[in-house]
């Protein structure tokens, strides 16, 4: 149906260049226009409701109508709508938020640097690492090791660390000095009969080989999400981070953890680092930090890293890095309110209650489904991976875009879904979701999958 000429949909096609969108298809299909939200649901311009099974982009942790966050932003805008933090300037919201994050950190941390997005925060970490090693007289220690299928964002350094093909070749990336090691996904990458523990041992050995090949004196950091999010909700095998960190310690390589999705209860602990026994030197968070109501991200560094940066003032020159909006008072005020709401409603207990319910409901509905290869997850995040051949764990040909077809059918059944590589369907609903809403979400996705199965059967017969 052609939308009316002056509608939002028509003007979208006329004027908007979208992120992560097939532009040619968009010219034909147009956008899905969402214009209101309530709880875990959003509503389109026709008034249809959808359960947001991925909280937007893994971020709207408190749902879509939290009044306290609106009030916090309004109050702060009236008081001080903007001030910066360059050259030692400060303001209360930034300081309060930094203090709250340090108090909540999974390991002792020293200082917090603020940016506006996950990508900016990750690029900032790379600059911290490079500046720090210049400052302490180790200018050759600059390489960064991350993982295939990891996702760290799309700015130049962040995209270089990301390990997905769509983010690399077509943009002339990765930059030099960014190295990728194997994906810790037991289901696809373990050898026949290999235990999770043995698989983890093999991945740690691979990391050690890469460090030795490159020269430990040239490797600054290992960069990882606690579980891989956009790469398909890949949960590391038992013992993985313990073994990886033993290697990093041996060669004095810093551990950087990207908690942009995992942070703030998603895995059933405050931090993914706690769930997977990670002791980061640098921790990045964003998204649920402000419940996504305003853009803000944070980089926490430990005392060793801070001392390295501080050293630069006398050895190489002033730390010339920062954004106009680093620590912006309005998103900072919203983030403070978000963290207070998490504490007051005891979000940790809530996630520990509804998370297992979601995992069980997904297992029950999908594990035996002939089109499902693996149902995996932790806390309140999961994936259902669609396969062509269940016995052989063989995915569909990506050209068939099976996951994208399921997402489209999901819209018809009232659920917004996220299809990722290998047709893995992600589940990362707002943290406030109830058990009843989880059941409704799983039911809607289940009906979409049943409809897709029928369509595929019909197509193979035709
Ligand atoms: N790191 C991780 C783990 C992410 O999932 C994302 C975004 N999904 C980013 C970084 C990038 O964040 P942003 O889109 O805010 O730049």
Provide the CATH number for the domain around residue 230: 3.40.640.10
- Whether residue 22 is contained in a domain is answered as no
Q: How far apart are CA 388 and CA 216, in angstroms?
A: 42
Q: Which atom of ligand 1 is nearest to the CA of 225?
A: 3
**Chosen domain end from 344, 361, 376:** 344
Q: What is the percent of the chain where pLDDT is above 90?
A: 98
Closest approach atom of ligand 1 to CA 284: 1
117 lines ligand 1 (CB under 6 A): yes
Domain assignment of residue 433, yes or no:
yes
Last residue of a domain, one of 344, 362, 395: 344
Q: 10 in a domain, yes or no?
A: no
- pLDDT at position 44, please? 97
> What's the ipTM?
0.99
Q: Is residue 424 part of a domain?
A: yes
Domains contained in the chain, number: 2
Q: Which CATH number is 46's domain given? A: 3.90.1150.10
Work out which ligand 1 atom sits closest to the CA atom of 116. 15
Does one domain contain both 284 and 186? yes
Mean pLDDT over the full length of the chain: 97
The H-or-E segment that residue 275 falls in is: helix 272-275
d(Cα 446, Cα 375) in Å, to the nearest integer?
A: 13
β-bridge pairing 34-38 and 381-386: unpaired
Cross-strand bridge partners of residue 51? 41, 415
Q: Which atom of ligand 1 is nearest to the CA of 118?
A: 12
pLDDT confidence band for 3 (50 / 70 / 90): confident
What is the helix (H) or strand (E) element at residue 114, kind and residue range? strand 111-115
Query: Quick check: 462 pLDDT over 60?
Result: no
Nearest CA to ligand 1 atom 7: 153
Whether 236 contacts 204, CB under 8 Å: no
Predicted pLDDT at 170:
93
pLDDT in tens, 367-383: 999 999 999 999 999 99
Q: Are residues 239 and 172 in the same domain?
A: yes
Question: Quick one: 329 and 197 in the same domain?
Answer: yes
Whose alpha carbon is nearest atom 13 of ligand 1?
118
Q: Are residues 257 and 219 in the same domain?
A: yes
Q: Is the CB of 119 inside a 6 Å radius of any atom of ligand 1?
A: yes
Give the residue, 295 or 2, on which the prediction is more confident. Answer: 295
Q: In what order do the strands lie in the sheet with 381-386?
A: 372-378, 381-386, 424-427, 418-420
Closest ligand 1 atom to Cα of 153: 11
Alpha carbons 283 and 256: distance in angstroms, whole number: 6
**Ligand 1 centre from 316 Cα, in Å?**
31
Q: Which of residues 344, 364, 390 is at a domain's end?
A: 344
Q: Is 14 a member of any domain?
A: no
| Letter string b/e over residues 172-195, b meaning 16 or more CB atoms within 10 A of that residue's CB | ebbeebbbbbbbbbbbebbeeeee
* Residue 17 within a domain: no
Torsion sign, CA atoms 454, 402, 361, 39: negative
Show the domain range for 392.
32-65+347-461
Pick from 123, 287, 291 the residue to mutate for probing ligand 1's pocket: most ligand atoms within 8 Å of its CB: 287
Pair (58, 102) in one structural domain: no
CA atoms within 13 A on the CB side of 292: 18
91, 325 contact by CB (below 8 A): no
Q: Which of 19, 151, 285, 331 to mutate to test the pocket of ligand 1 (most atoms within 8 A of CB)?
A: 151
Read off the DSSP letter of residue 416.
E
Whether residue 6 is contained in a domain is answered as: no
233 and 306 in a common domain: yes
Is there a single domain that holds both residue 106 and residue 178? yes
- In a shared domain, residues 229 and 247: yes
Q: Is the pLDDT of residue 284 over 80?
A: yes
Measure 370 CA to ligand 1 centroid, in angstroms.
Answer: 32
Q: For residue 5, is pLDDT > 70?
A: yes
- Contact in structure between 414 and 51 (CB atoms under 8 Å): yes
Residue 174 belongs to a domain: yes
Q: How many residues does the chain have?
A: 462
Pairing mode of beta strands 178-181, 372-378: unpaired
Model confidence pLDDT, tens digit, residues 204-247: 999 999 999 999 999 999 999 999 999 999 999 999 999 999 99
**DSSP letters of 26-78?**
HHHH-PPPEEEEETTEEEETT--EEEETTHHHHT-TT-S--HHHHHHHHHHHH
pLDDT band at 1 (very low <50, low <70, confident <90, very high): low
pLDDT of residue 461: 67
- Mean per-residue pLDDT, 75-83: 98
Does residue 318 sit in the same domain as residue 391?
A: no
Tell me, yes or no, whether 76 and 55 share the same domain.
Answer: no
Q: What is the share, in percent, of the chain residues with pLDDT greater than 70? A: 99
334 and 389 part of one domain? no
- What average pLDDT does the segment 47-72 reach? 98
At 180-204, the pLDDT tens digits run: 999 999 999 999 999 999 999 999 9
Q: Is the dihedral of CA 176, 185, 235, 442 positive or negative?
A: positive
Query: 303 with 159, same domain?
Result: yes
């Amino acid at each position: 149906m052609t939308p009316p000429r002056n509608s939002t949909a028509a003007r979208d096609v006329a004027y908007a260049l979208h992120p992560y969108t097939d532009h040619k298809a968009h010219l034909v299909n147009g956008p899905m226009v969402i214009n209101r939200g309530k709880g875990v649901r959003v509503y389109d311009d026709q008034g249809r409701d959808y359960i947001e099974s991925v909280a937007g982009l893994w971020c709207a942790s408190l749902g879509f109508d939290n009044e306290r966050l609106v009030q916090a932003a309004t109050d702060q805008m009236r008081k001080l709508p903007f001030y910066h933090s360059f050259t030692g300037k400060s303001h209360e919201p930034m300081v309060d938020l930094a203090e709250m994050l340090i108090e909540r950190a999974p390991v002792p941390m020293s200082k917090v640097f603020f940016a506006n997005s996950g990508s900016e925060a990750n690029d900032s970490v790379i600059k911290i690492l490079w500046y720090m090693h210049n400052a302490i007289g180790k200018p050759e220690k600059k390489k960064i090791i991350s993982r295939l299928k990891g996702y760290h964002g799309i700015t130049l350094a962040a995209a270089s660390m990301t390990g997905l093909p769509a983010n690399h070749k077509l943009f002339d990336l990765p930059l030099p000095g960014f190295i990728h090691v194997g994906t810790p996904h037991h289901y696809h990458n373990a050898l026949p009969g290999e235990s999770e523990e043995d698989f983890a041992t093999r991945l740690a050995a691979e990391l050690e080989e890469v460090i030795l090949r490159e020269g430990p004196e040239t490797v600054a950091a290992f960069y990882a999400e606690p579980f891989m999010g956009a790469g398909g909700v890949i949960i590391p095998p038992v013992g993985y981070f313990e073994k990886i960190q033993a290697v990093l310690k041996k060669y004095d390589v810093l551990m950087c953890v990207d908690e942009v999705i995992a942070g703030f209860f998603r895995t059933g602990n405050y931090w993914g680092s706690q769930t997977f026994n990670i002791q980061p030197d640098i921790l990045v968070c964003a998204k649920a930090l402000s419940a996504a109501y305003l853009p803000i991200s944070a980089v926490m560094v430990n005392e060793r890293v801070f001392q390295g940066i501080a050293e630069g003032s006398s050895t190489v020159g002033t730390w010339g890095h920062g954004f106009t909006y680093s620590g912006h008072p309005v998103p900072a005020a919203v983030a403070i309110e978000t963290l207070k709401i998490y504490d007051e409603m005891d979000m940790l207990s809530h996630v520990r209650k509804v998370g297992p319910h979601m995992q069980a409901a997904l297992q029950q509905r999908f594990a035996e489904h002939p089109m499902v290869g693996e149902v995996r997850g932790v806390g309140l995040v999961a994936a259902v991976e669609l396969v062509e051949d269940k016995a052989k764990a063989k995915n569909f040909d990506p050209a068939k875009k099976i996951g994208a077809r399921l997402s489209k059918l999901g819209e018809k059944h009232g659920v917004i879904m996220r299809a990722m590589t290998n047709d893995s369907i992600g589940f990362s609903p707002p943290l406030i979701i109830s058990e009843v809403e989880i059941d409704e979400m799983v039911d809607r996705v289940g009906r979409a999958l049943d409809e897709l199965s029928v369509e595929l059967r019909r197509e193979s017969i035709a």
